[in-house]
Chains A and B, each alone.
Chain A
Amino acid sequence: MSLPKLKAFLTLLMAIGAAAFFGSGGTFASFSAETTNAGSTAASGTLTMSNTVGTGSACATASAASQNNFNEACSPALTLTNLAPGTYGGAASITIQNTGSIDASALSLWAPPVNATLDAALTNGVTSGSSLTVTALEGTVTSGDSIVVSFGTHTQTFVASGSASGGATSIPITAQTANYAYPVGSIVQDTSSNTTASNTDCYDVKTTVAGTTGATKGTDLDFNPTTGNPLCAAALLYVQEQTGGFNYCWFGNSSNAPTGGCTAPISVTPSSALSTSGAITTIGVSALNGNVKKNDTIRIVSGNNTQDFTANADAYIGATSLTIVSATPNFAYPTTSTITDTTVQNTLNPDQADTISKFDTLHNGSSGKIPLYPLTANGTASTTAPVALAHSATRTFYVGVYLPGPPANNQNPLQGLSSTFGLTWHLDQ
């Protein structure tokens, strides 16, 4: 057989094979019967999520502002002001809900890279110019960094031709011809960031508003440089999940915490005045914003009155009662009194490993993503569970910051600074 005839024969065979594959096996039957299930449809499901800080409004990936199901502009988790060393700033809850129709097999958390969004559109086919106009930059850009602009499935990488400080609204770049009409709102990320404390998503600036009316602010002071983001590198961060009655410390110090909890300070008030008439074994409190471990020292202060109690049971975030070793209050502590856990604070004060900077550099988008496996008990997560967040299900996380007060350590350079940072949550099918 000649080569052309052989090719023709093989082509015919392939056609027959294909017909056989896409058709039916009935071709070669001597008898035939046939049924048709008509009108079948195959519709894709959805995998979307929402993110609610405290009792605020849900931020959805399905909203119009999102791009390719990514929403990089949800509300801040925390807004803490006027922190002093050794005092607890507080925590915020973030509830993640799978608002899609498909179960998610994985939920992850990491630090976003230095980021912003375009504040001036790029025109397709037109040279970008020597800078990108962006919203206030979260983090610091260094010359030579890769700056990725993306919108939906479109992406383009620029090279920073100079540095840009946190909060800047312009990033100097080497001009390129835009490969797409990137609109205002397109995501801008520095993929070279989050490698050292100096180029993290978390960045420091001096405060421009005083913590209390009429007081000094960061810009009044001359001993609080922002170089190296010192507050980011000192402030301790924790992320603790509390879902289905179970707790898990996903990031932060857990060296002195009840099982599954982070070493999270408390700063609460008694729900009713303490009575001096006899010994007590419980103290009703406003919802705990941290954890207490059995045997911790619980200190109550009102003016010049102070008393230490000993915790007699673990208590987690949200609890409204502390169990203590029987003791008689030495003062009728009113509901304005402050209750703290000095054991937790003393544990955290020397900690330099669980800072916001460490979170950014160890858990950035390119490495160290934290897989948030579903919880099965306090301190236990299932790494083999097929579903991390079922459709319509929620998981709740508490994010807290504590500014430690290391003993005999001058922290004046941390005065009047403000750290800004982000958290990224990611669902996979």
Chain B
Amino acid sequence: MSGRSFKTLLASLMVVGGLGCITVSGTYAVLSSQQTNTKSTVASGTLTFGDTVNTGTTCFSYGSGSTANVNGACAPLMSYSAAAENYPGVPATAKVTIVNNGSIGASDLALFMPSCTAAATPDAPSPGGGNPCAGGADMIVQETDSSGNATFCWYPDFAPGTCSWMDDTLSFFAGATDLSGALDLGSGPAAGASRYFTIGLELPSTASNTLQGQEAVFSLTWHVTN
């Protein structure tokens, strides 16, 4: 082998060695560091409420009888009995306590009447046949303090103090059958707080004889939003 070829061979070996050196360095030249912030938590609150008629059992928006935080099976405000029949000028009332037992305050409380239908009592005379839902009956939505003292009349006056009886207000109220036309009862209750209402119905002293022995069968829906 000539000296030139020998040097070429050595140079080749050096190149191989050099490549090996470079390649090896490249393979292991990566460092890394890593961290994870684990278990961040984001929890939603709850917006639930209970509805108590007079001194009865509280009916909650969730649980038994409810679907998706809507409970359509709470107790009626008033029930017919012969002893409880109404007379013109004598109001029938029921107290309703709304308690927010969720963890989020309600920014709005609303009330509407999904249905109001007329029915005849067993004592209904003939003729009769009037429809108190359509006219001739009065209704109030009175807010009170926990002792029952009037604080604000939401309907029909919409003013501080005691409600006044106005003709045909039941029929007007019954026209709002869903949330879009609901009576806005302002904000609250806050989480853990309660609001107190008196719902009243009355036949005015000028009521038509056609309303004798007639029933207004209605439901009231209370709705809170956050």
Q: List residues of chain A with CB under 8 Å of any chain B CB.
A: 13-14, 16-18, 20-22, 45-51, 53, 59, 61, 69-87, 89, 94, 96, 100, 102, 104, 112, 115, 136, 138, 207, 210-218, 220-223, 231, 235, 304, 356, 399, 401, 403, 405, 410, 412-429
Total residue contacts A-B, CB cutoff 8 A: 233
Query: Which A residues are CB-close (under 8 A) to B13?
Result: 13-14, 17-18, 20-21
Q: Given the complex of chains A and B, what is the CA–CA distance between A236 and B108 in angstroms?
A: 25
Q: Does B117 contact A (CB under 8 A)?
A: no
Query: Which B residues are CB-close (under 8 A) to A61?
Result: 33-35
Query: Which A residues are CB-close (under 8 A) to B68?
Result: 223, 410, 412-413
B35 near A211 (CB under 8 angstroms)? no
Q: Does B45 contact A (CB under 8 A)?
A: yes
Give 22 pairs: A residue, B residue, CB < 8 Å, sorted on A: A16-B10, A21-B13, A61-B34, A61-B35, A72-B35, A76-B41, A80-B42, A84-B226, A207-B44, A212-B191, A213-B192, A215-B191, A216-B62, A216-B103, A220-B46, A415-B69, A417-B44, A418-B41, A422-B38, A426-B33, A427-B32, A427-B34
Q: Does B55 contact A (CB under 8 A)?
A: no
Partner of A75, one of B10, B37, B43, B63: B37
Q: Does B2 contact A (CB under 8 A)?
A: no
Q: Does B47 contact A (CB under 8 A)?
A: yes
State the Cβ distance, A303 to closest chain B Cβ, in Å.
10
Q: Given the complex of chains A and B, what is the CA–CA distance between A258 and B103 in angstroms?
A: 34
Q: Does B40 contact A (CB under 8 A)?
A: yes
Q: Given the complex of chains A and B, what is the CA–CA distance between A40 and B29 in angstroms?
A: 20
The 8 A CB mask of B92-113 against A (1 = contact, 0 = none) is 0000000001111000000000
Known: A20-B14, A210-B103, A222-B63. Contact between A83 and B44, CB under 8 A? yes
State the Cβ distance, B158 to closest chain A Cβ, in Å.
15
Query: Which A residues are CB-close (under 8 A) to B46?
Result: 207, 210-211, 215-218, 220-221, 415-416
A78 near B48 (CB under 8 angstroms)? no
Query: Which B residues are CB-close (under 8 A) to A207?
Result: 43-44, 46
Q: List residues of chain B with CB under 8 Å of any chain A CB.
A: 6, 9-10, 12-14, 17-18, 29-48, 62-63, 66-69, 101-104, 187, 191-192, 226
Q: Given the complex of chains A and B, what is the CA–CA distance between A248 and B171 in angstroms?
A: 59
State the Cβ distance, A296 to closest chain B Cβ, in Å.
21
Q: Given the complex of chains A and B, what is the CA–CA distance between A304 and B6 in angstroms?
A: 98
Partner of B38, one of A73, A82, A214: A73
Query: Which B residues are CB-close (under 8 A) to A423?
Result: 36-37, 40
A235 near B42 (CB under 8 angstroms)? yes
B10 near A216 (CB under 8 angstroms)? no
A420 near B36 (CB under 8 angstroms)? no
A102 near B31 (CB under 8 angstroms)? yes
Partner of A71, one of B31, B36, B62, B191: B36
Q: Given the complex of chains A and B, what is the CA–CA distance between A403 and B38 in angstroms?
A: 20
Query: Which B residues are CB-close (under 8 A) to A426?
Result: 32-35
B40 near A81 (CB under 8 angstroms)? no
Known: A16-B10, A85-B226. Contact between A401 and B34, CB under 8 A? no
Known: A13-B9, A216-B102, A429-B31. Contact between A422 and B44, CB under 8 A? no
A417 near B43 (CB under 8 angstroms)? yes
B37 near A13 (CB under 8 angstroms)? no
Q: Given the complex of chains A and B, what is the CA–CA distance between A287 and B32 in angstroms?
A: 35
